[in-house]
């Protein structure tokens, strides 16, 4: 391997959603580039014109932006480079590393059958024919690959993987219509982009052998290969629709934070001892391809939720408030600037139990309710005269609290219970219902701080005046 500066890339095909596996491949490429002070690039493999869409390109850009895995250079679009791919095939023809294969579809079919019967790969009679014999009919351009010996892939994850050359056919580089094939395009693009490390899913391991032959034919230096194991579902089977979510955007929609996903995906197939939670800086410092394990990784929702809760507890309340705003907007609840201040103030009191930002959004609803709140039926029934009197006295006690903070309010509630000669259970649940209207709410003191003095006392007043 040469000591060229490291350049990695992801090369997704824009044909639909951005799969969580692609996100992990992006992350590993990004981590390795950052770890080595190299660069991380993006190539959009849009040569399948029927299935590639602009919308899917945008999904990839958005997914990478959301994950904060931004490429260091503008993206390369593969289809736009078809001329260059063709030119390289021509160059290879000129050097004798490729040949024109004039087999008709019928001849190819017949050869296929014979090859199958003989247990060998397809061979074209045109491989060794003289160009002077060329008929005037369509042809494909095939690589003149070695038919003996082996092609050895020194894979940084899988180790040494050997392919018998006699089992590899002369792969097509240009189709009869002159369009380049996938493997040619990948090799030319990776070469031209200066890619030193190809880190991708192990479903491409066989392509690595074919691509190596193209590199050799061209006399180009092969990149370092690193084929990552797949991500399986919690049951150990290949991740599929059956397991629920697969798209990056779905994890966003389900309320997972991008830093959670980065930390979580890094742990899928790679790790640093027993460390479960680590920052980007730590991951960058620690990451190395040689530590990627070759066994498939399993998606584990409990771990993902645990991590997300950790990052929700770490995040700036203002940022979380922005996310909550988006979530509530999707439920047709529009938040005013005043509401946003309430949400931001409430978040520190309700986030500890939140596994997702959707739960966080549920947990702030109580604070956003407009007075007068509707009491749940059970609380209405409990608004007896005795309760009303007690809550009036509680209102006075609360009004006298000098600092409207958690310790003062907790102290006031305890002192009030003592003065009344009852346990907190005698009025706490009712106070909670009055403050929250039955929506999930944090501890009483926290709920009151989140609401503020005026709103808390106002909600109490509403309940008392209704009961009167
Ligand atoms: N376009 C290929 C894919 O989406 C990636 C090929 C590669 O990384 O070399 O699976």
| Surface-to-core class of residue 127, CB atoms within 10 Å of its CB (0-12 exposed, 13-18 middle, 19+ buried) | middle
Q: What is the pLDDT of residue 3?
A: 78
Q: What is the CB < 6 Å shell around ligand 1?
A: 11-13, 45, 186, 200, 204
pTM of the model: 0.92
Which atom of ligand 1 lies closest to the CA of 22?
4
Q: Where are the alpha helices (DSSP H) in 219-316?
A: 248-253, 258-267, 280-286, 301-314
- Walk along the chain (468 residues) and give the pLDDT tens digit of each residue: 567 899 999 999 999 999 999 999 999 999 999 999 999 999 999 999 999 999 999 999 999 999 999 999 999 999 999 999 999 999 999 999 999 999 999 999 999 999 999 999 999 999 999 878 889 999 999 999 999 999 999 999 999 999 999 999 999 999 999 999 999 999 999 999 999 999 999 999 999 999 999 999 999 999 999 999 888 888 888 887 777 778 999 999 999 999 999 999 999 989 888 899 999 999 999 999 999 988 888 889 999 999 999 999 999 999 999 999 999 999 999 999 999 999 999 999 999 999 999 999 999 999 999 999 999 999 999 999 999 999 999 999 999 999 999 999 999 999 999 999 999 999 999 999 999 999 999 999 999 999 999 999 999 999 999 877
First to last CA, the chain: 85
Specify the CATH superfamily of domain 7-74+230-301: HUPs (3.40.50.620)
Q: Which of 293, 301, 218, 228 is nearest to 260 (CA)?
A: 301
**302 burial type by CB count under 10 A (0-12 exposed, 13-18 middle, 19+ buried):** exposed
CA distance 325 to 322: 5
Q: Whose CA is nearest to atom 6 of ligand 1?
A: 11
- Maximum distance among all Cα pairs of the chain, rounded to whole angstroms: 110
Dihedral angle at the C-alpha atoms of 374, 376, 379, 380, nearest 10 degrees?
60
Smallest CA separation from ligand 1 atom 7, residue: 11
* Segments of 108-267 assigned E as strands: 140-143, 150-155, 159-164, 172-174, 197-201, 224-228, 231-232
The number of beta carbons lying within 10 Å of the beta carbon of residue 329 is: 11
How would you classify the pairing of strands 39-44 and 140-143? unpaired
Closest CA to 47 of 13, 11, 89, 79: 79
- Dist CA 102 CA 104 (whole Å): 6
Q: What is the pLDDT of residue 260?
A: 97
Looking from the CA of residue 12, the nearest atom of ligand 1 is 4
Distance, CA of 37 to CA of 33 (rounded, Å): 6
Ligand 1 centre and the CA of 167: distance in Å?
23
Q: CA distances (Å), 258 to each of 22, 60, 65, 315, 323, in order?
A: 15, 15, 10, 11, 12
79-228 matches 7-74+230-301 in CATH topology: yes
Which of these, 219, 217, 213, 181, lies nearest to 85 by C-alpha position? 181
* Domain ranges across the chain: 7-74+230-301, 79-228, 315-368, 377-467
Q: What confidence score (pLDDT) does residue 2 get?
A: 61
Query: In testing the pocket of ligand 1, which one of 7, 8, 9, 12 has its CB within 8 Å of the most ligand atoms?
Result: 12
Q: Write the class of the CATH domain 377-467.
A: mainly alpha
In 3D space, the residue among 261, 251, 281, 163 whose CA is nearest the CA of residue 211 turns out to be 163
Q: Which residues are catalytically annotated?
A: 241
**What is the fold of 79-228?**
Rossmann fold (3.40.50)
Task: For strands 98-101 and 140-143, give the pairing.
Answer: antiparallel
Q: Kindly list the distances between the CA atom of residue 56 and the CA atoms of 247, 251, 340, 419, in Å, as whole numbers in the listed order.
A: 12, 17, 33, 66
The reported pLDDT for the residue numbered 65 is: 98
- Contact assessment for residue 229 and residue 294, using Cβ atoms and an 8 Å cutoff: yes
């Amino acid at each position: 391997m040469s000591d060229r500066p490291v350049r990695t890339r992801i090369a997704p095909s824009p044909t639909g959603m951005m799969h969580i596996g692609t996100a992990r491949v992006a992350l590993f490429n990004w981590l390795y580039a950052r770890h080595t002070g190299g660069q991380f690039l993006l190539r959009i493999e849009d040569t399948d014109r029927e299935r590639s869409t602009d919308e899917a390109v945008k999904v990839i850009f958005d997914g990478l932006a959301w994950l904060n895995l931004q490429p260091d250079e503008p993206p390369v679009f593969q289809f736009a480079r078809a001329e260059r791919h063709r030119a390289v095939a021509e160059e290879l023809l000129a050097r004798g590393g490729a040949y024109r294969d004039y087999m008709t579809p019928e001849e190819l079919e017949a050869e296929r059958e014979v090859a199958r019967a003989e247990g060998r790969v397809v061979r074209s009679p045109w491989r060794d024919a003289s160009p002077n014999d060329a008929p005037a009919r369509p042809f494909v351009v095939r690589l003149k690959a070695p038919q003996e010996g082996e092609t050895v892939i020194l894979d940084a994850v899988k180790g040494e993987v050997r392919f018998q050359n006699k089992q590899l056919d002369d792969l097509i580089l240009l189709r009869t219509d002159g369009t380049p094939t996938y493997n040619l395009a990948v090799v030319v693009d990776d070469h031209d982009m200066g890619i030193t490390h190809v880190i991708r899913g192990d479903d491409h391991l066989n392509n690595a052998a074919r691509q190596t032959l193209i590199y050799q034919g061209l006399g180009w230096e092969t990149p370092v290969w690193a084929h990552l194991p797949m991500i399986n579902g919690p049951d150990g089977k290949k991740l599929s629709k059956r397991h629920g979510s697969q798209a990056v955007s779905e994890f966003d929609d389900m309320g997972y934070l991008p830093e959670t996903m980065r930390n979580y995906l890094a742990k899928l197939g790679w790790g640093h001892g027993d460390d479960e939670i680590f920052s980007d800086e730590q991951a960058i410092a620690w990451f190395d391809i040689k530590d990627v394990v070759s066994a498939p990784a399993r998606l584990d929702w409990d771990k993902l939720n645990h991590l997300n809760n950790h990052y929700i507890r770490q995040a700036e309340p203002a940022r979380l408030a922005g996310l909550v705003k988006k979530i509530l907007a999707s439920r047709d609840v529009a938040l005013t600037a005043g509401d946003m201040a309430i949400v931001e103030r409430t978040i520190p009191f309700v986030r500890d139990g939140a596994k997702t930002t959707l739960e966080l959004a549920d947990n702030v609803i109580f604070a956003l309710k407009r007075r007068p709140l509707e009491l749940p039926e059970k609380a209405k029934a409990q608004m007896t005269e005795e309760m009303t009197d007690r809550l009036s006295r509680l209102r006075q006690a609360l009004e006298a609290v000098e600092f409207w903070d958690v310790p003062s309010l907790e102290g006031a509630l305890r002192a009030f219970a003592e003065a009344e000669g009852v346990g907190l259970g005698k009025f706490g649940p009712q106070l909670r219902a009055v403050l929250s209207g039955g929506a999930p709410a944090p501890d009483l003191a926290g709920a009151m701080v989140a609401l503020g003095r005026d709103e808390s006392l106002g909600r109490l007043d509403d309940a008392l005046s209704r009961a009167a």
